């Protein structure tokens, strides 16, 4: 936590794919034949190095938005970038300490943090609640 940076070893397991059958927004041009966009869900397990202090295991679910061009592999997309609450790479799960076995909620993502309750007060963008600034979040305020 805080400013710690750790490496992980783990797995991502595909759970499901969802392909959008119409443009995400009114006014968007329809996709060309052979193009696709949608999202996929994964389960994940990410293990920190047990030999370091304050380490554990992250487990949970992940959502990824993607776009697939004609005859290409799917790639990251900012499908909903024009809307409030735009987000991608949404992780929601738990972190369990190797030492204490205590489990805590662990969520993170790009642009927004899923299921964050009163932590994220932003309308269109992420903006942390001032009561969390003392824990290192003040630099992200608007």
Query: If you average pLDDT over residues 15-29, what whole number do you get?
Result: 80
Q: State how far the alpha carbon of 66 is from the alpha carbons of 40, 46, 88, 124, in Å.
A: 8, 22, 9, 21
Longest dimension (CA), the chain: 54
Tell me which residue of 21, 60, 12, 27 sits closest to 39, measured CA to CA. 21
pLDDT (tens digit, 9 = 90+) per residue, 68-82? 888 999 888 876 666
List residues bridging with 69 in a β-sheet: none
List residues bridging with 11 in a β-sheet: 45
Domain spans of the chain?
A: 8-116
Residue of higher predicted confidence among 129 and 125: 129
* pLDDT given for residue 102 in this prediction: 98
pLDDT at 56 over 70: yes
pLDDT at 83 over 80: no
Q: CB–CB of 83/76 below 8 Å?
A: no
């Amino acid at each position: 936590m805080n400013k710690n940076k750790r490496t992980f070893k783990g797995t991502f397991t595909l759970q499901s794919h969802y392909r959008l059958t119409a443009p995400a927004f009114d006014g968007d041009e329809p996709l060309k034949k052979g193009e696709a966009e949608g999202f996929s869900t994964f389960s994940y397990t990410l293990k920190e190095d047990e030999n370091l202090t304050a380490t554990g295991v992250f487990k949970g679910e992940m959502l990824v938005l993607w776009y697939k061009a004609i005859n290409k592999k799917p790639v990251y997309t900012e499908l909903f970038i024009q809307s409030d609450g735009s987000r991608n790479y949404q992780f929601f799960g738990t972190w369990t300490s190797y030492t204490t076995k205590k489990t805590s909620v662990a969520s993170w993502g790009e642009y927004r943090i899923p299921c964050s309750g009163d932590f994220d007060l932003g309308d269109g963008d992420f903006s942390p609640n001032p009561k969390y600034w003392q824990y290192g979040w003040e630099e992200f305020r608007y």
